[in-house]
Structure 1
Amino acid sequence: MKRIVLRLVGVLLVFALAAAGGFAWWAHQPVGLSASPVEVIIKPSSGVASVGRQIQRGGVAMDPRLFQLLARITGHGADLKAGGYQFETGITPLDIIEKMVKGEVTHYVVTVIEGWEFRKMRAVVDANPALKHDTAGMSDADLMKAIGAAEPSPEGLFFPDTYLFARGSSDLELYRHAYRAMQKRLNEAWNARALDLPYKTPYEALVMASIVEKETGQAVERPMIAAVFINRLRKNMMLQTDPTVIYGVGESFDGNLRKKDLLTDTPYNTYTRTGLPPTPIALPGIASLAAATTPAPSDALYFVARGDGSSHFSNSLPEHNRAVDKYQRGK
């Protein structure tokens, strides 16, 4: 028995050494590229597993799991820097890791997330050390004027995306690019809009898209969420949506929406005022723009969270009250 165990250990050791040798060989071999050079964008705050997937999606023929293992074995799993990288023919997995540890980027990146308020976007841009901060000391209105925007309020008017820039670029150029991207996306959605929507302008559709962005628990429900609010607008009903109230409370909001907040009138309190709020309440993404301009065909006027991230939609108040009892009060 002892001899059999020793043989088994020996066989396993041989396999382990062979696997280690094969892995080391792979780490030094050139990877396939979809083009040369290929530009790969790594988003900020990406974990090593996500980095591997972004590299593969960018056109590098490399198994993300092997890349993750190599990064961890070399002790650089947490050292890979975000940015835009150029990889050319002949580069190896180890070369890629070395390049990313050193941060040898061709472009830097700022990622703007769907649902952020503009103040969050501005804080992230202000904190980026690779940008030239020409907007320092500017009010939001001054910033809008500086990029050539007609609107005085910046909320909702910058498209959430990942933006590349060279070191030393002006933050004004980044804002200008994001503003133009939103104008383009909004105009595309407006031109493809459904008939008989209760909006007079694309800006009103943008306001609705921002509400949909903040109200949606599951992405698939965006068109239904939009339908509810559009139906309420058509009937001159109050929208009664908490995110607008929270936006009206402003930076003093502590995460707990109170009854007094719902009763305190502000331009954004859709429990005290009919119609849309005066501006968007967040930066909506393309899916919310599409939902606001092409809502689901539905007569629903109410929805309530089921507690699992999804919503129950109702056409009448009695039906809605029953759903509230079931999903919110446990009756």
Structure 2
Amino acid sequence: MPDPKPAPASRRWLWYLLLTALLLVSAATYGTWRILWQPNVAVSPYGAAYLYIRTGTGYAAVLDSLRRHELLRDMRTFEWLAERRGYPRLVHPGRYRLSPTLGNQDLLDMLLAGRQDTLAFTLDAFKYKPQLTRQISRQLEADSAELRRLLNNNAFLTQRYQLDTTTVLTLFLPGPYRLFWNTSARQFLDSAAATHRRFWTTKRQQRADSLGLSPTQVHVLASIVQRETAMKEDKPIIAGVYLNRLRRGMRLQADPTLLWAIGNFGVKRVLNKDKLVDSPYNTYKHKGLPPGPITSANRQSLDAVLKPAAHQYVFFCARPDGSGYSDFAETYADHKRNASRYQQRLDSLGIKR
């Protein structure tokens, strides 16, 4: 059988050209895929990675943050594509969640659209404005100095929220919030006001009206109830005690208001000298409610005031067993006996203050 004829040189060159073209196309396709779609976010051992872009900063700050925190596997491909898509001129502030599956194309789609992740946090109860500003500045970009200025701007608070620098603390309900990280101080206040409005349903407003209290007064009284006890069962009873006192024209004589006035909530034993403090929050001296809340009242305390227990008690004091519950009394004689047992308990523990 004769040997097959070798392929002509022109045909071999054609195959070489086709193979070379195929390799070039494959290389170009791979290069394009690597730049656009290959996952480029570094895997973090601490869970999800986040890119924070502060308001007013630009492209250079974004690159600096990506480098310092080692958020990307390949900075060069990101920069190459970012410049061609015009990102340096369209930087949006915010907190962006970087999934390990993101390639440069999807990452830039997110950044260019400003699709930032929301931040969930819990607002803890606070007693003084500086405690609020510290909490918020730890969670959000909101400028603490600006928030402090707004909280002390009477004209702004009256016009926008119908509150003043004393009653503004009634605006804040402790609990969960979900906001954008780059929320400003004013936006945070507006968000708190929206949460406040949602809490004050028509039904709750009607309950406040039936008690002869405004929503602000409910917040103030609830703040006292909240400082008096952590026991859910006792809250409506204590609310009823204070409402009975208000109806009878008695002074509230609430120890927590004294502690707020002297700035020391660590006191276990209120002394007679504490009752002499010169403050509108001294409810041993002044009748009625204090001018503002002594803590940010939570929903449970507010509802305890709106649904108080019906009774004739006008006195109460902590039980001597350390349970956290209170003993209640209708007469001063019974109250003195309850208070004496509690004082003996403090003596036995060596608590003098």
TM-score, length basis structure 1:
0.61
Given that residues 187 and 202 in structure 1 are in contact (C-alpha distance below 8 angstroms), is that contact kept between their aligned partners in structure 2? no
SS of the residue 1:123 aligns to: helix
| Percent identical residues | 28
Distance in 1, Cα, partners of 2:146 & 2:207: 35
The correspondence for 1:248, drawn from 237, 240, 261, is 261
SS of the residue 2:278 aligns to: coil
The correspondence for 2:119, drawn from 93, 96, 108, is 108
Stretches of structure 1 lacking an aligned partner (at least 5 in a row): 1-82, 88-104
Distance in 2, Cα, partners of 1:322 & 1:137: 46
Stretches of structure 2 lacking an aligned partner (at least 5 in a row): 1-94, 100-115, 349-353
CA 1:144–1:128: 2 relative to 1, 3 Å: farther
- Residue 322 of structure 1 corresponds to 337
Q: Pairwise mapping of residues 236-275 of structure 1 onto structure 2 (< 5 A)? A: 236-250=249-263, 253=264, 255-256=266-267, 257-275=270-288
Distance in 2, Cα, partners of 1:110 & 1:118: 18
CA 1:231–1:86: 2 relative to 1, 3 Å: farther
One-letter amino acid matched to 1:113: D
Given that residues 117 and 156 in structure 1 are in contact (C-alpha distance below 8 angstroms), is that contact kept between their aligned partners in structure 2? no
The correspondence for 2:215, drawn from 186, 192, 202, is 202
- Residue 66 of structure 2 corresponds to none
Equivalenced residues, count? 233
Given that residues 198 and 230 in structure 1 are in contact (C-alpha distance below 8 angstroms), is that contact kept between their aligned partners in structure 2? no
Task: Tell whether 2:141 aligns with 1:156.
Answer: no
Distance in 2, Cα, partners of 1:191 & 1:149: 17
CA 1:313–1:171: 2 relative to 1, 3 Å: same
Given that residues 328 and 335 in structure 2 are in contact (C-alpha distance below 8 angstroms), is that contact kept between their aligned partners in structure 1? yes
CA 1:254–1:165: 2 relative to 1, 3 Å: closer
Q: Pairwise mapping of residues 306-317 of structure 1 onto structure 2 (< 5 A)? A: 306=319, 307-317=322-332
CA 1:318–1:258: 2 relative to 1, 3 Å: closer
Task: Tell whether 2:166 aligns with 1:166.
Answer: no
One-letter amino acid matched to 1:141: N
Q: Pairwise mapping of residues 1-331 of structure 1 onto structure 2 (< 5 A)? A: 106-114=117-125, 116-128=127-139, 130-131=141-142, 135=146, 138-142=149-153, 145=156, 148-153=160-165, 154-188=168-202, 190-193=204-207, 196-199=210-213, 201-250=214-263, 253=264, 255-256=266-267, 257-306=270-319, 307-330=322-345
TM-score, length basis structure 2:
0.58
* Bigger radius of gyration among the two: 2
SS of the residue 1:304 aligns to: strand
Distance in 1, Cα, partners of 2:181 & 2:230: 37
Bigger proportion of residues as helix: 2
